[in-house]
Amino acid sequence: MKLYNFSLAPNGQRVQAFLNEKKITLETRQINVRDGEQFKEPFKSMNPFNCIPFLELDDGTIISESISICRYLEEEHFPNPSLFGNNPQNKAYIDMWNRRLELDCLTPLGFALRNKVSMFADRVLAGTRNDIKQSPDVVERGMQMTNLLFERINPCLEKNEFICGDNFSVADITGHSIFLYCERFKFEIPTKFENVLKWKSKLYERECFKYE
């Protein structure tokens, strides 16, 4: 099994944090997506969606999507510590939170960045090169959605150390990624979201995120 990744990419870093938390080292090939290496062979044929990270299994199967890669690694090879839950109820609960964070905030923030920074001018959708124009509305929408998410999750973090309760999970890795995007945007998290800020501090001190 071999991981194809890029250590500077947000989604690559999510998988790396997951590996760090489990203390796993995988054979890894760096693909420089900033230079367009993902559009060259053999990578182009391996993952026609032209994104990293992706995992090549020993039988040649390719698994892409950060969360799908992590799920496969946990279920097939590295069950402990469990970051996806270990019974149907907490599996569903962690999945629910991860989806909320991805759909309502991380993805909108990813689009916001791609619609703002000149480096992404011809690539507003990851893994493509085209002439879809960057739109300031998408940037603004990303900021608004982030604020809304923080407003909604602040009460949920009142008694919890982590987003799903007292145990660190893959949803916290998604949360950490959201905070990194906020930094890039110089999005200052309002102090009224004190539980969100507490959660952020907790995540920032965690070893698995010290990958630079």
Ligand X SMILES: N[C@@H](CCC(=O)N[C@@H](CS)C(=O)NCC(=O)O)C(=O)O
The residues of the shown chain that bind ligand X, judged by CB under 6 A, are 9-11, 33, 38, 50-53, 65-66, 123, 126-127
Nearest to 173 by CA among 208, 146, 211, 201: 208
User: Closest separation between CB of residue 107 and ligand X, Å?
Assistant: 8
- Give the ranges where 36-169 is alpha helix by DSSP (H): 43-46, 66-72, 88-101, 107-114, 136-153
Q: How far is the CB of 124 from ligand X (least distance, A)?
A: 9
Residue type, 172: D
Q: Residue 36 Cβ, how far from ligand X at the closest point, in Å?
A: 7
Q: Which is nearer to ligand X, 107 or 144 (CB)?
A: 107
Report in angstroms how near the CB of residue 198 gets to ligand X at its nearest.
26
The strand pairing partners of 2, in sequence order, are 56
For ligand X, the closer CB: 127 or 165: 127
Q: Which is nearer to ligand X, 47 or 154 (CB)?
A: 47
Query: 28 vs 38, which CB is nearer to ligand X?
Result: 38
Question: What whole-number distance in Å separates Cα of residue 115 and Cα of residue 49?
Answer: 20
Positive or negative torsion for Cα 11, 173, 113, 101: positive
